[in-house]
Amino acid sequence: MNILIPDSWLRDFLKTKATPKDIQRCVSLCGPSVERINKVENDFVYDVEITTNRVDAYSVYGFAREAAAILPEFGYAARLLPFPLKELHPKVPALDIKITDHSSSTNRVLAIKLENVTLAPSPKWLTERLEKVGQRPLNNIIDITNYVMWETGHPAHAFDYDRLREKHIIIREAKQGEKLVTLDGKKYTLRGGEVLFDDGTGTIIDLPGVMGTLNTIVTNETKNVLLFIENTNPAKIRYASMGLSIRTQAATINEKGPDPTLAYTTIRRAIDLTCELTHGRIGSKLYDHYIHKPTIHTVSVSGDQLSLYLGTEIKPHRVITILKRLGFSVTSRYSVRPPTWRAQDIKIPEDVIEEVARIYGYHNIQTKLPQGEPPVVLPDPQLAWEQEIKVRLRDWGFTELYTYSMISQKLMDIFGLDPKKAYKISNPLSEEWVYMRPHLFPSVLAAVEQNLHVRDSLKLFELSIVYRFRPNDLPQETPSLIVVWTGEKFREAKGIAEALFQLFGVPVPLSTESDKQGLKVYTDQHLSYGSFGSVGVVHPELLAKMNIHTPVTRVYLDIFELVKHANPIRKYVPIAKYPPIIEDLSFIVPEGFQVGPLIEVLSRVHKLIESITFLDAYENKRTFRVTYSDPTKTLTGMDIAPIRQKLIEYAGEKFGAMVVTAK
């Protein structure tokens, strides 16, 4: 995320003689990246990239704090100046608005009443600063809340005090179906679970941390203002912002978890500016309910750890100086407590080491071979198998696909996939991405349809994750493989499948079980491998639904099952001394006949049968090649005659197949 910071505004908090170019060079080497400096009128504006874990630097003051810690490492004197806060007037009554928190998601709530304010355009210096950071000025009250947000890094909000008729704010979670109208006039229906404010009657008066509502915003008639700051669970802010597609600057900051301690500084700064620029006065004591303070982790780091990780030795006093400049307290040599604004991302020794390294300067650390024993990294066997499959398919002439993990409702319907057994995305970005795919085939066949306009002949594959449904649980992410051709390539598909089974050392499993999907996937040219997958020519009816008018052949394999049963140990079988006898048997087969079960049964008829393979199909005839072999002698026709007779009898008795010829 990027932020614009005017140099003139930065100098309110950073006392240094370093030029903007110096600041850009030094800070970019050791902290947030200053991508460019823009000249705007008589000012320089830094365009700064802030990483999402460093919300503490996402403000003028936060960037000044970083610069004050970094510049001395480059020889520039730099000092962080405090906020110019005035004392609060003590002789005022307590805030007469009751605030009740039912949400358990709020860390801190601050509120104060300001009386007799005068709404008007903001002074030139303030509007110019807001315009330089990309914020449109509106009026002095709204501009002040935006100004302090950019300056301190914590959003604030202003209510029209007199429009809060019930004088009661209830912080609670939304019920499903509740509606609100935001300050820009847009209507929203809540999903339930969002944190909101209501006035005690059920009327929603704010979507805190995201955007205010139309019924409580300040107007030209406003005389009294309630300045309000809430620090809320960032997950709740993100949920509301993304679920309703409301992306504001306040939501961007709040969903990153700004420091609750900073909220106090922000409201104090807003009070001072409001009194100064609107001629208003403080009308109540400051309400401050600090519920959940950030947990500060004391982190111990040894000198040996620093040297080991950095590959260089930094003197202890230098390390302590760096940490103290960053706001850390160092109780013993390297027993470190981060400041509240770094409580979220400084929790383990490596976090502290990273802070020392970046301020010391990665450019100052000499290249050096690591010392000691290298770490032992055990490779993930599944990834190794997947890589081997991809290499083989590439070498066999196939092109790898990368399709989206989400599919549309239309594809779910076409492929007969049950929506109740799939994970539906609650806020899909497009109608094309509604369900997490429970099968690869819809994605791959859609890719075939799209690419047929470019090329008639396609050989594609995808090896990726599918999301299998588990009731009341997260999905089971299972790797699957689909290989597709255009054309009737059943024998090629069967060969690819058998080659992959051989790669895994898994005997080719043959099953009468059909492919488990809610519609007919294949024509009669298919084989099932049970839980391992299947091969076959895709049914024309399914292709027609996808607007594909050419035959397509598919191999589907469950990689999880293959890896689970993989046998990487190979058994050496010497080349036979004696030649085999090979013959072909043709059968007339009944309707609905399946090749696989016949091969499986006949292969077990006699120990001299080395293999039986499917050779050819024509109308109702199927031809098989039988290989006989004996490791102890050369076989003769008399040896195999009774075995052949047995094969013919089994084929007839068990499968209704009648022999045509025997060669």
The answer to whether residue 571 sits within a structural domain is: no
Band (663; pLDDT cuts 50, 70, 90):
very low
C-alpha 171/C-alpha 179 separation (Å) is 16
DSSP 3-state assignment of 610?
strand
pLDDT per residue as tens digits for the range 138-159: 999 999 999 999 999 999 999 9
E-state strands within 213-346? 225-232, 281-282, 287-290, 299-300, 329-330, 335-337
Compute the average pLDDT of residues 569-582: 85
Q: Which amino acid is at 12?
A: D
The answer to whether residue 153 sits within a structural domain is: yes
Q: Does one domain contain both 339 and 278?
A: no
The answer to whether residue 48 sits within a structural domain is: yes
Which residues contact residue 409 at a Cβ distance below 8 angstroms, ignoring those fewer than 6 apart?
419, 431, 434, 435
Q: Does one domain contain both 530 and 386?
A: yes
Q: Does one domain contain both 63 and 105?
A: no
Closest CA to 65 of 12, 132, 2, 109: 12
Whole-number average pLDDT of the chain: 91
Q: What is the CATH number of the domain that holds 341?
A: 3.30.56.10
Q: Does one domain contain both 178 and 243?
A: yes
Q: Does one domain contain both 137 and 119?
A: yes
Q: Which domain holds residue 587?
A: 581-662
Closest CA to 54 of 250, 259, 229: 259
Q: What is the CATH number of the domain that holds 602?
A: 3.30.70.380
DSSP 3-state assignment of 130?
helix
How distant, in Å, are the alpha carbons of 32, 107, 114, 285 from that of 288?
32, 11, 15, 9
Q: What is the CATH number of the domain that holds 503?
A: 3.30.930.10
108: left (phi over 0), alpha (psi -120 to 50) or beta: beta
The pair of three-digit structure tokens given for residue 129, joined into one six-digit string: 């600063």
The answer to whether residue 30 sits within a structural domain is: yes
As a three-state string, the secondary structure of 331-380 is CCCCEEECCHHHCCCCCCHHHHHHHHHHHHCHHHCCCCCCCCCCCCCCCC
Q: Does one domain contain both 243 and 107?
A: yes
Q: Which amino acid is at 630?
A: D
DSSP string, 628-653: E--TTS---HHHHHHHHHHHHHHHHH
Instruction: Work out the burial of residue 638: count CB atoms within 10 Å of its CB; fewer than 13 is exposed, 13-18 middle, 19 or more buried.
Output: exposed
Band (406; pLDDT cuts 50, 70, 90):
very high
The answer to whether residue 376 sits within a structural domain is: no
The answer to whether residue 574 sits within a structural domain is: no
Q: Note the pLDDT of residue 357.
A: 93
Which residues contact residue 455 at a Cβ distance below 8 angstroms, ignoring those fewer than 6 apart?
none
Closest CA to 295 of 350, 352, 257, 349: 257
**Over pLDDT 70: what percentage of the chain?**
98
| Domains held by the chain: number | 5
Q: Note the pLDDT of residue 228.
A: 95
The answer to whether residue 576 sits within a structural domain is: no
DSSP 3-state assignment of 138?
coil
Does residue 512 carry a pLDDT above 50? no
Compute the average pLDDT of residues 623-637: 92
Q: Does one domain contain both 305 and 280?
A: no
Q: Does one domain contain both 354 and 393?
A: no
Q: Note the pLDDT of residue 470.
A: 92
E-state strands within 213-334? 225-232, 281-282, 287-290, 299-300, 329-330
Q: Which of 232-236, 500-504, 523-527 is predicted with the least confidence, judged by mean pLDDT?
A: 523-527
Closest CA to 95 of 140, 151, 42, 161: 161
Closest CA to 3 of 187, 215, 151, 178: 151
More confidently predicted of 573 and 425 = 425
Q: Note the pLDDT of residue 661.
A: 60
pLDDT per residue as tens digits for the range 18-44: 999 999 999 999 999 999 999 998 999
Q: Are 248 and 207 in contact (CB under 8 A)?
A: no
Q: Does one domain contain both 520 and 456?
A: yes
Does residue 541 carry a pLDDT above 50? yes
CA–centroid distance for 620 within its chain = 53
The answer to whether residue 329 sits within a structural domain is: yes
DSSP secondary structure code for residue 12 in this structure:
T
Q: Note the pLDDT of residue 518.
A: 42
Q: Note the pLDDT of residue 367.
A: 82
Q: Does one domain contain both 189 and 274?
A: yes
The pair of three-digit structure tokens given for residue 474, joined into one six-digit string: 């997260």
Residue that is last in its domain, among 266, 290, 314: 290
Q: What is the CATH number of the domain that holds 261?
A: 3.50.40.10
Q: Note the pLDDT of residue 307.
A: 87
Residue that is last in its domain, among 515, 539, 564: 564
C-alpha 71/C-alpha 75 separation (Å) is 7
DSSP string, 426-465: SS-SSTT--EE-S-SHHHHHHHHHHHTTT-S--EEEEEEE
Q: Does one domain contain both 488 and 444?
A: yes
**Over pLDDT 90: what percentage of the chain?**
76
Q: Does one domain contain both 283 and 348?
A: no
Q: Note the pLDDT of residue 434.
A: 93
